[in-house]
Structure 1
Amino acid sequence: MKAAIATRGPTGLLIALTIAVLTAVGALAAPSAGAAPPRAATATSVSAIAEALRERPVYVDPAASALLSEGEAQALADKIEGADKPLFVVVLPADYPTENLFTELRTATGVTGLYAIRLGDRFDARADSSVLPRAAVGNLVGSVQGEDARTQLDDFTDRALANMGGGAPSGWDEGAGGGVSTTALITAGAVLVVGGAGVYTLSRRNRRRHDQEQREALERLRVVVDEDITAFGEELDRLDFHPAEAGADDAMRADYARALDAYEQAKTHMADAGRPEDVRAVTQALEDGRFSLAQLAARREGRPLPERRPPCFFDPRHGPSVADVTWTPPGGATREVPVCAADRARLADGQDPMVREVETAYGRRPYWDAGPAYGPWAGGYFGGGILPGLLMGTVLGSMMATPTYAADYGAGYGDFGGGYEGGDVSGADFDPGDFGGGDFGGGGDFGGGGGGDFGGGF
């Protein structure tokens, strides 16, 4: 009779489901006679560590158990699994062999992610660049140096989870017994108790907010792109070229036709744009069109044809650049930037270049300090992998170097990221430069976050 009452109606059904989930959790949490421990007591080989990491994000070598207790390791693992991020934490004794440790561990694990190792009293980390850029890894490592093991790993984990991209490997959800993990069941039970409708509503609200932010970013960007299209149309109007004019040849007519086609393509791409990243096709078409006009001008004037160069960094509407010059932005790092003839002359005279400024919430700012939506806009103009160097140290460059940027605005703007997503099983298919090599001691494979093979050039 009690059972019938307990399961009657929606409330009773919820109670029954909750009891079932908690019972399953208890059964999985209780150790069974035939169950193997999560890792062998003497598993110190890289292969054994990698095998353990495929099942749980934290591995503590038995010889290093004094650095991090089992309870502390489990709490850290629960935090990482709860965040659904591909972060791997390893604690090893000080005398563990270190040559090529990160590279070999990444190869043996085969999972794209962020790998952190505490080795005695030393600490360092490496990551696939699609999960976390090198500079970010180095900064995170440097921010926790000198802390005791528990505090250091906890602080590093919190900061890394807030910055890295990707999702957790599927193996963590399977559990040691091949079933559903305890964490997943507890989460499912909590959802049942609280109510799945609330979670669904929150997810929809976040999605709507994200979509609204994207639409607003596109509308702000549309003003700038329309200015670019208009400026190019005015260049065509001023050209005063007629395909049938005296002296015109097939090469000139082809240049002119390509410029007209680029103008129409830019307008079409902008009309079809639904997200900020769609404007890359627009500015790429405009860049192609301006180069065609530069070729046409050279043919008409009897000059050598220009080489294909990126547009002027300060304002792509200035047209193709004529040279690379050294330039240092206020408070920034010195870099080589492509410039038009007019801006080259201004810089040579000690004057400021004519910088493209756009409207922001803080007034007019250079486009590289205006917001993340300008990444696709710049990417269409400055392709071929030159963009990271141009935007080094700028607000936009810093944004584009984060994994979350690619999720919101797309990737491919000059090797800011790409490849496998975090958590993907890529095996040995990864960039060895991301994981370094050599000695673990100081400046090699384990460089203390401030240099070494992985961190050189920060």
Structure 2
Amino acid sequence: MKAVRRTRSLPALLLAVLALVLATLYAPGASADTSVSAIARALRQGPVYVDPAARDQLSAADADTLAARIKDADKPLFIAVLPAGYPTTDLFADLRSATGVTGLYGIRLGDRFDARADSSVMSVTARRNLVRSVRGEDAKSQLADFTDRALANMGGHAPRSWGGSASGGHGMSTTGLITTVAVLVAAGAGAYALVRRTRRRREEEQRAALERLRVVVDEDITAFGEELDRLDFHPSEPGADDAMRADYERALDAYETAKQRMGAAHRPEDVRPVTEALEDGRFSLAQLAARRERRPLPERRPPCFFDPRHGPSVSDATWTPPGGAPREVPVCAADATRLADGRDPVIREVDTDYGRRPYWDAGPAYGPWAGGYFGGGLLPGLLVGTLLGSMMATPTYAADYGTGYGDFGGGGYEGGDVSGTDFDAGDFGGGFGDGGGFDGGGGGGDFGGGF
């Protein structure tokens, strides 16, 4: 009788032990490892991490959907969802060091959100504008919107650790290999013909784009020539010194260089050196004017965003395009006054098939034109959310119009590359909220005050 009771009690004992183990593992508040190192390990395996204490912010299904979207885009975007009380000191820098992967890192912390990025993946201006554009949204909408906008405007590629095309088999059979080769050979002639047709069509499209762009560039060259004519400066005039003469010579050289380079342009991407020369020339004229008027020399700033013919900018101003997010743009003195008075700036419009449009909504050919004026590092933040900005973020654009206009090319570690702790700490510094304007400020690497 005792043996029977002992036998019946054994399953009950095992069930009790199993229940205790499960309760320990899955009970709310269980001591799961949620350190920065643990988060980094998870992010090296997938793009989205949700802290156990923050699962009410983003469900497992929504996290999987977000992760799939990022993987499909092949971009180094990392998302972490953490509880409000998570330690914040140097969080971004420590997480970037722990993952060792170049990329864009977005963190939802309680009801707040911020992001940091390697400059090779996204410029500081672009990252700040993106964060600002999703401020105040609920977790699901905020992370989805941030992901969609980031994927359209960031550079780099997904890290290999997220998984590739590895096969679970042991290789292709001989029969499969023969079949594959036969299919490839049969399709070869058609593929070759298709490539030739595609290449011819691309060349025709580029020629058409260059001719449309030539009109705008010629207007820029003409406008700069008129500025030189109105200058009324003579190298031998009383009061002229060597510095003034050097400024004047640089401006003249820039004018001639722009004309020569435009005359030799064969593709839209050949326009970038033309507008670079014009930008250099206008800055030389600004220096010359300051010397003649005995004013302090101007700092080197990009031209006015609304129309580079306005000359070098004097400040940055917040501007919101129709249907877009606010962003900081460089502006000339006249446009700064217009914006401050609540008026519209004077925007450079160009001809399109749909009438006159701002250059950032006029088509892909204007990327090289804008890139020469504003440079690759500044351009992504200025054009985020615009037609031109979205186009320039695609591999197709780089193939047709070249790289370096804000598409984050330029050597070093690219997004998704393993750089370990070899990264610019300045890209990940500052308090949480510095990138999106959260109240509370913070400093010293903290997320912000009040914690």
Match of 1:423 among 413, 416, 420: 416
In structure 2, the residue matched to 1:282 is: 274
How many equivalent pairs are there? 392
Match of 1:107 among 97, 101, 109: 97
Deviation at 1:108, TM superposition (A): 0.6
User: Structure 1 pair 172/220, CA: closer, same or farther in 2 (3 Å)?
Assistant: same
Deviations along 1:204-232, one digit per CA (max 9) or x if unpaired, are 98888777665544432221111222333
The 8 Å contact of residues 55 and 171 in structure 1, kept in 2 or not, is answered as yes
Match of 1:136 among 130, 134, 137: 130
Aligned residues with identical type, % of pairs:
61
Per the alignment, in what secondary structure is the counterpart of residue 54 of structure 1? helix
Structure 2 length normalisation: TM-score?
0.58
Deviations along 1:118-137, one digit per CA (max 9) or x if unpaired, are 88x87967452654643435
Match of 1:228 among 199, 220, 225: 220
Deviation at 1:399, TM superposition (A): 2.0
In structure 1, the residue matched to 2:369 is: 377
In structure 2, the residue matched to 1:337 is: 331
Paired letter, 2:211 = E
In structure 1, the residue matched to 2:16 is: none
Structure 1 length normalisation: TM-score?
0.57
Paired letter, 2:419 = S
Per the alignment, in what secondary structure is the counterpart of residue 307 of structure 1? coil
Indicate yes or no: 2:258 matched with 1:266: yes
In structure 2, the residue matched to 1:171 is: 161
In 1, Cα distance between equivalents of 2:306 and 2:147 = 39
Deviations along 1:309-335, one digit per CA (max 9) or x if unpaired, are 6656654445567x6697978869697
In structure 2, the residue matched to 1:11 is: none
In 1, Cα distance between equivalents of 2:331 and 2:164 = 51
For structure 2, the residue ranges without an aligned partner over 5 or more in a row are: 1-30
Match of 1:304 among 279, 294, 300: 294
The 8 Å contact of residues 49 and 59 in structure 1, kept in 2 or not, is answered as yes
Match of 1:86 among 59, 73, 76: 76
Deviation at 1:270, TM superposition (A): 2.1
The 8 Å contact of residues 155 and 407 in structure 2, kept in 1 or not, is answered as no
In 1, Cα distance between equivalents of 2:170 and 2:55 = 27
Deviation at 1:238, TM superposition (A): 6.5
The 8 Å contact of residues 127 and 435 in structure 1, kept in 2 or not, is answered as yes
The 8 Å contact of residues 392 and 407 in structure 2, kept in 1 or not, is answered as no
Paired letter, 2:101 = V
In structure 2, the residue matched to 1:399 is: 389
Paired letter, 1:285 = A
In 2, Cα distance between equivalents of 1:91 and 1:349 = 41
Deviation at 1:109, TM superposition (A): 0.8
The 8 Å contact of residues 376 and 404 in structure 2, kept in 1 or not, is answered as no
In structure 2, the residue matched to 1:50 is: 40
Aligned positions of 1:35-74 closer than 5 A: 44-57=34-47
User: Structure 1 pair 183/97, CA: closer, same or farther in 2 (3 Å)?
Assistant: farther
Deviations along 1:173-202, one digit per CA (max 9) or x if unpaired, are 479xxxx4559999xx9x959966599789
The 8 Å contact of residues 311 and 332 in structure 2, kept in 1 or not, is answered as no
In 2, Cα distance between equivalents of 1:254 and 1:124 = 50
For structure 1, the residue ranges without an aligned partner over 5 or more in a row are: 1-40
In 1, Cα distance between equivalents of 2:394 and 2:421 = 25
In structure 1, the residue matched to 2:22 is: none
User: Structure 1 pair 84/369, CA: closer, same or farther in 2 (3 Å)?
Assistant: closer
In 1, Cα distance between equivalents of 2:147 and 2:304 = 42
Deviation at 1:266, TM superposition (A): 0.8
